[in-house]
Amino acid sequence: MPDVGMVWIALAALAGAIVSALMGWLDSKERFAGRKFLKSVAAGFIAAAGLALAFNGSVVGTRDLLLAFLSGAGVDAVGNRVMGSLRK
């Protein structure tokens, strides 16, 4: 059974990736493409799993949740930049 702190860290990272994907879509002014959005959610799941497994604290604080949120958003943003560069 996972620790409750690990679950909160994973949820914060996933939320960060989802918010980043939504902000990217709103900024692009394109029609919603579910496939692109699901790629960002998948990247968020990977970030969430990695951060949850790396988390070794027993108490989850606001700072931990904020860092997990920003890490999830960063994984989404960096992943999109890398994929954009590889396509060119």
Position 57: which residue type?
Answer: G
Q: What is the pTM of this model?
A: 0.79
DSSP state of 59: S
Residues in the chain: 88
Phi, psi of 35 (to 5 degrees): -65, -45
Phi, psi of 55 (to 5 degrees): -70, 125
User: Hey, where are the domains in the chain?
Assistant: 4-87
Residue with tokens 């990977």: 46
Encode the chain (88 residues) as per-residue pLDDT tens digits: 567 888 888 899 899 988 888 888 888 888 888 887 888 888 888 888 888 888 776 678 898 889 888 888 888 778 767 766 777 6
